[in-house]
Amino acid sequence: MSTIVRFAPSPTGLLHVGNARTAMLNWLFARKENGKFFLRIDDTDTERSKPEFETAILEDLGWLGLTHDIFARQVERADAHNAAAERLKASGHLYPAYETAGELDRRRKRQIAMHKPPVYDRAALALSAEERAKLEAEGRKPHWRFKLSQSKVKWRDLVRGDVEIDTAHLSDPVLIREDGRFLYTLPSVVDDIDFAISHIIRGEDHVTNTAAQIEIFEALGAKVPAFAHFPLLIGAGGEALSKRIGSLSLREVRESGIEPLALDCYLAKTGTSDTIELKPSLGALASEFFFEKVGRAPAHFDPVELSGLNAKLLHALPYEAVAERLKALEVGGGPAFWDAVKANLAKLSDASDLWALVAGPVIPIIEDKNLAIKAAELLPAEPFDEATWSGWTAAVASATGLKGRALFHPLRLALTGREHGPELKKLLPLIGRAKSVARLKGETA
């Protein structure tokens, strides 16, 4: 059997990191199994679905490197959904119900007050043809519910192990609204069938839904896919993530300067038994993916931990990997500058700030005027290399009797105007003699 998985976001908001983790786990499993990754846009909610959110979904997944092999929009598959609905009506699995939202709410409250579970009582099934006709003559339009078996549904979950849901404790789910629009469930099952989805990999908030969906698969005479429900990704403080409120959106993470591979590694490893660490590629992450490694506790998204991983990634990158991006940031200096500053970067854009130490203007801080004057006198002629710094500072130390912080701290302040920064043995050749002398004299250069 071919492995085909699907990631099915609705274009009603920006993807957040929790959505991205779902996409990531699906993609990794598909690649590990030499299967296919299906991107399905679940846009049946026509009121809230927006084309700009679909565009953002495609851009964000592309930025992460999660390429898709198959693409579809649910809204374009209405004929298939309608045909399936007619089959379910004909087989008696889908039945009309006429209660208003207000009536259902009052029933739920009454059941709760009586300490009963607020499960739909199936009153619509007792309606005669004449009663249904009368309700429709009054202007009521039915919503359509799927008739659950009221028996136990069992499956072997690839993350949770054996799962059993008694559908007698569930309300028959509404699949079609009064206005004829489909809710999520039926189009999702129909598309899973038509695109031969082999594995449904998603958050554990869908576990209860799975029982109803399995019965819909069976009612349509289709093979039931394998399921894997993993714990949700939550914020560092335990808060739920939501694309409706834009919490930790991928767009926000991108704009903060996080590298895509750093986020790939973080999402692939967080919540698993593996150590969160850098891997060279998505392919390497896929080769290490196993459902058995996915833990049962909620995974926490820690921006501080991600930032640390991002910094490690930047520190290991060769100049060739960032040359074009540095050029776009108007950062010069070539490989020598990159080698000088990369260990000081938390995000690539920090290179712009550090380039100012070379290109200037820098307002020097003269902490020890006599030291600065003597250092300027002893600065050797160019060309400079990394050995220049040690030879120069040794000469200054010999002339002034200063050493340690008393020597190096004033020189750093004079040359860079900052308390901390890249190694000066690498920075001095880039600053050059003319600017160095000017700064040691207290001149902005």
Per-residue pLDDT of the chain (445 residues; tens, 9 = 90+): 799 999 999 999 999 999 999 999 999 999 999 999 999 999 988 889 999 999 999 999 999 999 999 999 999 999 999 999 999 999 999 999 999 999 999 999 999 888 888 999 999 999 999 999 999 999 999 999 999 999 999 999 999 999 999 999 999 999 999 999 999 999 999 999 999 999 999 999 999 999 999 999 999 999 999 999 999 998 777 777 765 544 689 999 999 999 999 999 999 999 999 999 999 999 999 999 999 999 999 998 999 999 999 999 999 999 999 999 999 999 999 999 999 999 999 999 999 999 999 999 999 999 999 999 999 999 999 999 999 999 999 999 999 999 999 999 999 999 999 999 999 999 999 999 999 999 999 999 9
Parallel/antiparallel/unpaired status of strands 4-7 and 36-41: parallel
User: Is residue 260 included in any domain, yes or no?
Assistant: yes
**To 5 degrees, how large is the angle CA 236–CA 345–CA 322?**
110
Which residue range forms the structural domain that includes residue 36? 1-73+186-316
What is the spatial distance between Cα 192 and Cα 319, in angstroms, rounded to a whole number?
45
User: Is residue 181 included in any domain, yes or no?
Assistant: no
Phi then psi dihedrals of residue 5, to 5 deg: -115, 165
- What residues form DSSP beta bridges with 97? 143
- What residues form DSSP beta bridges with 157? 161
Return all residues near 351 (Cβ < 8 A) that are at least 6 apart: 326, 329, 331, 337, 338, 341, 345
- Residue 140 in contact with residue 122, Cβ under 8 Å? no
If one counts the domains in the chain, the total is: 4
- What residues form DSSP beta bridges with 5? 37, 199
What is the spatial distance between Cα 239 and Cα 406, in angstroms, rounded to a whole number?
49
Question: Do residue 32 and residue 62 come from a single domain?
Answer: yes
Comparing CA positions, the residue from 200, 249, 241 lying closest to residue 16 is 249
Amino acid code (one letter) for 54? E
Question: Do residue 115 and residue 69 come from a single domain?
Answer: no
Read off the CATH number of the domain in which 391 is found.
Answer: 1.10.10.350
What is the spatial distance between Cα 213 and Cα 216, in angstroms, rounded to a whole number?
5
Q: Residue 227 CB: number of other CB atoms within 10 A?
A: 21
**To 5 degrees, how large is the angle CA 421–CA 423–CA 428?**
105
Question: Do residue 69 and residue 95 come from a single domain?
Answer: no
Burial of residue 195 (CB within 10 Å: 0-12, 13-18, 19+) is middle
User: Is residue 348 included in any domain, yes or no?
Assistant: yes
- Residue 170 in contact with residue 184, Cβ under 8 Å? no
